[in-house]
Amino acid sequence: MTEQYSQNPKLETIKNQNGLTVTIMDWGATIISIKVPVKGEETPREVLLGVKDPAEWNSQPCYFNATIGRFANRIAHSEFTIDGKEYKLNSGAEHCLHGGVNGFDKRRFTLVNKTENSLTYTVHSPDGDMGFPGNYDLTVTYTVSEDNALNVQYLGKCDATCWSCITNHAYFNLNGYNSSALNHTLWIDSKAFLPLDSTSIPTGEVKEVAGTAFDFNTPKTVGQDFLKDDLMKDALGYDHPYLIEGNPEKPFARMESDDHKVKMEVYTDYPAVQFYSANYLKTSDYEIIARDDGKVYANQSALCLEPEFYPDCPHMPQFADVNKMVTPQEPLNKFICYKFDC
């Protein structure tokens, strides 16, 4: 990069007539803020985590609310093979996470279109970027609708066959203030999830959620069964891919604030969602100062629902029917919707 990450950010705000307001930063096409109108409250409620000092968007390591690519989640051993050719990824670690050391979350996107309720950004990733093949062009469009939804559309075009998975790493706390999210009520329409090894790579097994702490088919608080299954101990909580129908007309998840005044449904046409209970917001190496009260965010201060392909799907050909590679003839075309009921 020729510029320091997050230097001179350009912010844009879109809204609807109900008062739902969304602010986007061009670095990482990052959602800086989602403020939702709540009945009986004088000011809109901020439902995303954010940093106290704007300069910390550079230093925070948690991918706060950013566009993730070229490949969201993990690729084992930072390599894959396409048509007999092996590609080594620049991950800086054993496994490639969220596109590598210089993923899309650290790129300045270009704003190409703006209306009162919509923003469209693009970014170009050249052939060999972070080790991925092909010249890749991503278009991200954010649209706020009058039914209090934030719609996100991804269009990724590549002149070569490649793996690509684009998502947003939004950290939601519907309480509207720095607090634990373990008392949020959550429903996930999923019958199965992918168990992980100790390094968060799927084992290849598909496990039914029924009878386990991973079952959210009946709404419950996130804390009810937290850490009550050995399969979540390595991740220090929930950080697992759930298999979903991927129907953009039907929500796959619903989240409610502690006071039940704010509800959020999530829609997508991806086949999986990574449910992450923000288990690494604070470690011995770093801490993040909350923008609302100036105190340190504790672990589990937010919940992430990241629609995506299966993690490490380049190494799981048994799931190829639902995890498609991008080709010059078939671009990535995926959709996420966060819809609020307040």
Let me know if residue 276 belongs to a domain: yes
On whether the pTM is more than 0.95, the answer is yes
Domain contains 318:
yes
Q: Cβ distance 311 to 274 under 8 Å?
A: yes
Put residue 17 in one of left, alpha, beta given phi > 0 → left and psi -120 to 50 → alpha: alpha
Active-site residue, 184 included? no
3 assigned to some structural domain: no
Long-range CB contact pairs, 74-83, < 8 A, 24+ = 74/200, 74/201, 74/311, 74/312, 75/163, 75/312, 75/314, 75/315, 76/201, 76/312, 76/315, 78/131, 80/163, 80/314, 80/315, 82/133, 82/161, 82/162, 82/163, 82/325, 83/161
Which of the following is catalytic: 169, 184, 256, 308? 169
Give pLDDT, residue 1: 39
Q: Report the distance separating Cα 53 and Cα 153, nearest Å.
A: 29
Q: Which of 45, 8, 62 is nearest to 289 (CA)?
A: 62
Q: Which of 334, 176, 165 is nearest to 246 (CA)?
A: 334
Joined tokens for residue 341? 């009921």
Is residue 324 a contact partner of residue 142, using CB atoms and an 8 Å limit? no
In a domain, 5, yes or no: no
- Other Cβ atoms within 10 Å of 308 Cβ, number: 24
Number of domains in the chain: 1
288-310, pLDDT tens digit by residue? 999 999 999 999 999 999 999 99
Q: Burial code of 283-304, b = ≥16 C-beta within 10 A, e = fewer?
A: eeeeebebbeeeeebebbbbbb
Please choose, from the candidates 79, 85, 81, the residue with its C-alpha nearest in 3D space to the C-alpha of residue 100: 79
Distance CA 288, CA 60 (A): 7
What is residue 286's predicted lDDT score, i.e. its pLDDT? 94
Residue 56 token pair: 């910390």
* Sign, Cα dihedral of 66, 72, 77, 83: negative
Question: Could you tell me if 271 and 309 are in contact, meaning their C-beta atoms sit under 8 angstroms apart?
Answer: yes
Closest alpha carbon to 332 in 67, 76, 117, 23: 67
Q: Where are the beta strands (DSSP E) in 180-252?
A: 185-188, 192-193, 207-208, 220-221, 239-243
Q: Give domain status of residue 4, yes or no.
A: no
Sign of the CA dihedral 97, 68, 154, 336?
positive
β pairing state of 149-158 and 136-144: antiparallel
Of 14, 92, 7, which is closest to residue 57 (Cα–Cα)?
Answer: 7
pLDDT for the residue 242: 98
Position 204 in a domain: yes
Which stretches of the chain drop beneath a pLDDT of 70?
Answer: 1-6
Identify the pLDDT of residue 54.
Answer: 87
Domain that holds residue 329: 11-341
Q: In the prediction, which pLDDT does 163 show?
A: 98
The per-residue pLDDT for 150 is 98
Q: In degrees to the nearest 10, what's the CA dihedral of 206, 211, 212, 214?
A: 70
Q: Catalytic: 169?
A: yes
Q: How many residues does the chain have?
A: 342
Looking up residue 268, the CATH number of its domain turns out to be: 2.70.98.10
Q: Is residue 41 part of a domain?
A: yes
104, 71 Cβ separation under 8 angstroms: no
Q: Which one of the listed residues 95, 98, 240, 306 is annotated catalytic? A: 306
> Residue 334 domain-assigned?
yes
Please count the helices (runs of H) and the strands (runs of E) in the chain.
1, 24
